[in-house]
Structure 1
Amino acid sequence: MQWQEVVNKAVDLRQWFHRHPELTWQEKNTAAKIRQCLTDWQVEWRACATYGTVATLGKEKQGEHIALRADMDALPIQEQTSLDFQSEVDGKMHACGHDGHMAALLGTILWLKLNEVQLKHPVSFLFQPAEEGGHGAKHMIDEGALDGIDFIYGWHNWPAMPFGTAVCPNGAVMSGNGSFHIQVSGLGGHASQPEVCQDPVLAAAAITLNLQQIVSRKMPPQAAVVLSVTHLNAESSVTVIPQTAEVSGGIRLSDPKYRPQINQLITEIAQQTAAAYGVTAQVEIRPRYEATINHPQAAQNYRQVLAEVFGQNCDQVDLMLPIMASEDFSYYLQQIPGAFALLGMSDQTNASFSYACHSPHYQFNDQLIERVMRVFINLAIKY
């Protein structure tokens, strides 16, 4: 099988994955497709974290053992692209490019299997479920996906960068995140008698405003922190002051050291503001992922290969790092050395590739598949 045949096979697989999206912790058919490919290609694999798969080539070889990772899950989004191979599942869509991530990794495996003699050390391939908030990486680690692995590499397409660009910094490349959920409880009653009520709506509005001081007045200007209130709910009729109101939202932070302070401030501000309005606030903070922080040596290895494939100036791009999106690849980097790269996807000749991840109009740029295959193959052979 020639190179272009392998690339075409990978593109076909991408389109199959795109037609058959499955949500977080529901990737049963996706896993079956991946495992059937590996079996057909006579690649050794084992199940991990239910729908995850760990495949290995060159297992008998000596030297440092690297791992390459792809995520698998889709999103609960109704696709609006009109692609010939658009989602066949109502309300579900690969709107973040995980279909392309899987396809590029499968193409890499097939080529390396056909040329396994070139491998000087073992290489593993992690197909990971539940990246979209499901902590799939943690489950993979808990079930031994990193056992014997010395370095790990991953990537994500990024529509805000032009095709042909790539960034892989030392240190943080993506931010950590978390969510807060505040229930404000008061005393409801008739809207004509506010004096005999304890209004949770007014308190919730004040809490929303007061939370904004955390970033603007409590964090150093150099800290990359975002706090957004994204949900307010105080369901009632127009003549009723309700008993409760809910305030919730998300936080993003590039350095884990700020998380305890931010969490404490959210709780203090919500409860003290509530007290000032004669109501109470119960606060729940749910940590999600920590920042994705690259290890310098692994990042240097990655940058060298990226420059070989994308060009020496591929990292010359107008992008402020770390980006504020989050990735559970951070779990891997907390355990072993590794690095994560962002690869540009937008194309001036096709505006469709510029839609942001998680948009119903999002489209993955299939030109990336061959490029990523070359990067991964070079990493596997050289490092």
Structure 2
Amino acid sequence: MTTLLTEQRSTSLSAQQLSQQRVQWRRELHQHPELSNQEFATTERITRWLKQGDIRLLPFDLKTGVVAEIGQGEPLIALRADIDALPIEEVTGQPWASQQPAVMHACGHDLHTSVMLGVAHQLKQREAELPGRVRILFQPAEETFDGAKQLIDAGALDGVQAIFGMHNAPDLPLGVLRTRPGAFYANVDRFVIRIHGKGAHAARPQEGIDSIVIASHIVTALQTLPSRVFSSLESVVLSVTRFTAGNTWNVLPQSVELEGTVRTHNADIRAQIPHKITSLIQGIAGGFGAQAELEWIEGPPALINTPAWADFALALAQETGYHAERAESPQMGGEDFAFYLQQLPGVFVSIGSASDFGLHHPAFDPDESLIDAAVNYFSELAPRALRIVAQQ
């Protein structure tokens, strides 16, 4: 797709043309989504669009992803966009729908990337006025929760003094920006439970140990952990999302595999849950003469916003035309931006995208008009944050 910037420099584009350019970026990314750690063409596109704006690229050793920088001297802050897509077959019917079978930007990372591309170009035009440097991380593999670690390991945070990011929120109306001090997103952990019984003919179940019946008891019993083992005042969500067993209609399978996720905010409760699950599943399986084992895969920690930066983000949102909302309680979604906030102060915000269908849904269709407002917000946030950091 030919972009407007290939025809004329961004300094000469009208506000309407700039808006159209950002939407074009988003739609081209949307048509060509790539899964986590496979974002090669996405990386090439982002690199090309940044070079068209004469934006400096930093030579970090990354398989996919791009790091750009605008400005000179100190201090240094960072902005982040995620760039990967999901293994979902799109059903929006839009002219710019995914052209990749069973791959879709169903989480809006194409929007986030377009926003930060817009910010990079807008800051480039004001580069001489910037009181420091702004580093923009176009991060791969957020969906698999290993992209932030890749950038940290590559040194992309070296020298950075504060970091800022966003996610679109389809449940929020356009023009709403929401965040909160402290815990904002949850600890995210994944589990796999394997139950080993004894296979048998379905007509003679007494000759086997029915792993499906045992697994069904386990699925039900797992729900007692958030409801009966831990206080109802604590936020604990446990969901079984996959139940895999058997391959034909008249055989009781030898084994069953369950998979799911646990979301928490309390670190102490998070640490207890693998032990509680292990005790529960082994007790149930043992009562039937079977065996059960737990594989626990730890994901990103709770996302903890720096209180002062959360207050700053909300005040700036109100000033730049958003309806700013301080979230009353944390949410249960996960974000690997949390790994950055373990290293640095900063804040992550939600921006309304007003989709009838939520994140990770095949009909997810956010309103693209959020892009321009978000570009203006982060383009104003960057120089102000630099001035605050310089005074600290």
Structure 2 runs not aligned, ≥5 long: 1-10, 386-392
In the other structure, the counterpart of 1:349 is none
- The 1:93/1:192 distance shift into structure 2, 3 A limit, reads closer
Compared with structure 1, are the counterparts of its residues 108 and 382 closer, same or farther at alpha carbon in structure 2 (3 Å cutoff)? same
2:315 aligned with 1:307, yes or no?
no
CA contact (8 A) 1:52 1:129 kept: yes
Shift in alpha-carbon separation, 1:193–1:90, aligned structure 2, 3 A: closer
Give the length in aligned residue pairs.
372
Kindly, what percent of the aligned residue pairs are identical?
A: 36
Deviation track 1:104-139 (CA, whole Å, cap 9, x = no partner) reads: 101111111111122111111000001111410011
Q: 1:376 aligns with which of 375, 378, 389?
A: 378
Instruction: State which drifts further: 292-301 or 184-193.
Output: 184-193
Q: 2:329 aligns with which of 307, 321, 336?
A: 321
**SS of structure 2 residue aligned to 1:304:** helix
Match for residue 17 of structure 2?
5
Choose the corresponding residue for 1:367, options 366, 369, 374: 369
List per-residue Cα deviations over 1:36-75 (Å, max 9, x = no partner): 12222211112543111111111x323x311000000011
Match of 1:80 in 2: 91
The superposition leaves residues 220-260 of structure 1 with CA deviations (integer Å, 9 ceiling, x where unpaired) of 21211100112222204443222111222111112333211
Contact 2:246 2:252 in 1 (8 A): no
Aligned pair 1:276/2:287, yes or no? yes
Partner of 1:184: 195
- Alignment equivalent of 2:343, drawn from 326, 335, 348: 335
Structure 1: unaligned runs, 5 residues or longer: 347-352
1:228 aligns with 2:209: no
Secondary structure of the residue that 2:172 maps to in structure 1?
strand
Pair 1:99–1:243, CA change in 2 (3 A):
same
Find the aligned partners of 1:266 and 1:177 in 2 and give their Cα distance.
16
SS of 1:92's partner is: coil
**Alpha-carbon spacing, 1:16–1:236, altered in 2? closer, same or farther (3 Å):** closer
* Correspondence list, 1:31-46, <5 A: 31-46=43-58
Hey, what does 1:103 align to over in structure 2?
Answer: 114
Whether the 8 Å contact between 2:198 and 2:210 is mirrored in structure 1 is yes
Q: Does the 8 Å CA contact 1:25/1:134 hold for their aligned counterparts?
A: no
2:206 to 173, 195, 200: 195
Cα distance in 1 for partners of 2:245, 2:31 equals 39
Q: 1:259 to 1:198 in 2, by over 3 A?
A: same
Residue correspondence of structure 1 range 52-67 to structure 2 within 5 A: 52-58=65-71, 60-62=72-74, 64-67=75-78
| Partner residue, 1:162 | 173
TM-score, with structure 1 as normaliser: 0.93
> CA offset at residue 205 of structure 1?
1.3
How far apart are the structure 1 equivalents of 2:258 and 2:89? 26
CA shift for structure 1 position 267: 1.0
**Counterpart of 2:345 in structure 1: which amino acid?**
P
Corresponding residue of 2:390: none
* 3-state SS in 1 of match to 2:285: helix
Within the candidate set 353, 356, 364, 1:354 is matched to: 356
Q: Could you tell me which residue of structure 2 aligns to residue 215 of structure 1?
A: 226
Following TM superposition, by how much is the alpha carbon of 1:310 offset from its aligned partner in structure 2, in angstroms?
Answer: 3.1
